[in-house]
């Protein structure tokens, strides 16, 4: 338990958008519709369209190559789009970088937001101010690690801290005991 943990946050995880290439299509897909795999029964939401491809997010899992992908229901009112899946791959934007989407990974996480946390004495010149970073103490039950911290962000509606924050640093902490009793994240507001 984190001492003084009286805040609540949501931990979100980012995933790469996927590109589904297809052949032999009938009908027209529309952004926002859900595409379903005929064999895998996996689903995804269409985010972007291209010639012979759709970019999807919010995937329930990986589709099976060569399966039929559809939009709509059969037999009534019928499929509004149907095609044979050629491949599924991470979607790269034209600049060669990946495009991501965020999904709630852990909700109602009991945490503690606070400013600062540095050690030592800071000597200021007259009129200078210290802008201490926002930090968040998180319980050991969160599934973030130092290696994966950049794939997560924290969202809160706590009145003093409302916002979405990227994790800049993430590390285990111990209080008086030798064992790890919480994690500390240094946060930066997402614009």
109: domain CATH number is 2.40.10
Q: Which pLDDT belongs to residue 109?
A: 95
Asked whether residue 107 falls in the same domain as residue 181, the answer is: yes
Measure the CA–CA gap between 138 and 1, rounded to whole angstroms: 9
Asked whether residue 106 falls in the same domain as residue 165, the answer is: yes
- Examine residue 39 and state whether it is found in any structural domain, yes or no: yes
Average pLDDT of the segment spanning 162-184: 84
- Output phi, psi for 118, to 5 deg: -75, 160
Asked whether residue 173 falls in the same domain as residue 123, the answer is: yes
Asked whether residue 180 falls in the same domain as residue 111, the answer is: yes
Element (H, E) at 27: strand 18-27
pLDDT for 7-36, tens place per residue? 999 999 999 999 999 999 999 999 999 999
Asked whether residue 108 falls in the same domain as residue 77, the answer is: no
Task: Count up the domains in the chain and report the number.
Answer: 2
Average pLDDT of the segment spanning 150-179: 88
* Domain-terminating residue out of 68, 98, 128: 98
* Nearby residues of 181 by Cβ (< 8 Å), 6 or more positions away: 1, 2, 140, 173, 174, 175
pLDDT for 43-95, tens place per residue? 999 999 999 999 999 999 999 999 999 998 877 777 899 999 999 999 998 88
Range of the domain at 55: 18-98
Asked whether residue 67 falls in the same domain as residue 143, the answer is: no
Asked whether residue 181 falls in the same domain as residue 131, the answer is: yes
Asked whether residue 110 falls in the same domain as residue 179, the answer is: yes
- Examine residue 2 and state whether it is found in any structural domain, yes or no: no
Q: Which pLDDT belongs to residue 131?
A: 65
Q: Which pLDDT belongs to residue 173?
A: 83
Asked whether residue 93 falls in the same domain as residue 113, the answer is: no
- Examine residue 93 and state whether it is found in any structural domain, yes or no: yes
Q: Which pLDDT belongs to residue 149?
A: 94
Asked whether residue 129 falls in the same domain as residue 70, the answer is: no
Q: Using the predicted structure, report yes or no on whether residue 176 has a pLDDT greater than 70.
A: no
pLDDT for 86-135, tens place per residue? 999 999 988 889 999 999 999 999 999 988 655 544 555 665 555 678 99
* Domain-terminating residue out of 39, 65, 98: 98
Q: Which pLDDT belongs to residue 120?
A: 45
- Please state the pTM of the whole predicted model: 0.79
* Domain-terminating residue out of 83, 98, 113: 98
User: With contact defined as beta carbons under 8 Å apart, do 165 and 149 qualify?
Assistant: no
Average pLDDT of the segment spanning 138-164: 93
Asked whether residue 70 falls in the same domain as residue 134, the answer is: no
- Examine residue 1 and state whether it is found in any structural domain, yes or no: no
- Examine residue 121 and state whether it is found in any structural domain, yes or no: yes
Asked whether residue 73 falls in the same domain as residue 109, the answer is: no
Average pLDDT of the segment spanning 157-161: 92
Measure the CA–CA gap between 86 and 97, rounded to whole angstroms: 22
């Amino acid at each position: 338990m984190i001492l003084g943990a009286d805040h609540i946050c949501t931990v979100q995880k980012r995933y790469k958008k996927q590109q589904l290439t297809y052949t032999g299509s009938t009908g027209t897909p529309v952004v926002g519709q859900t595409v379903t795999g005929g064999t895998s029964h996996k689903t995804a939401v269409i985010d972007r369209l291209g010639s012979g491809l759709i970019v999807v997010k919010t995937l329930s899992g990986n589709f099976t190559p060569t399966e039929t992908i559809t939009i709509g229901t059969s037999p009534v009112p019928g499929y509004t789009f149907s095609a044979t899946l050629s491949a599924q791959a991470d979607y790269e934007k034209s600049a060669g970088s990946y495009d991501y989407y965020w999904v709630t990974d852990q909700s109602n996480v009991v945490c503690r937001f606070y400013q600062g946390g540095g050690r030592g004495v800071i000597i200021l010149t007259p009129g200078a101010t210290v802008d201490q970073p926002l930090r968040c103490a998180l319980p050991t039950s969160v599934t973030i690690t130092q290696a994966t911290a950049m794939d997560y962000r924290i969202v809160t509606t706590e009145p003093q801290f409302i916002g979405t924050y990227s994790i800049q640093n993430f590390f285990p902490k111990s209080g008086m005991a030798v064992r790890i009793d919480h994690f500390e994240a240094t946060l930066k507001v997402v614009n």
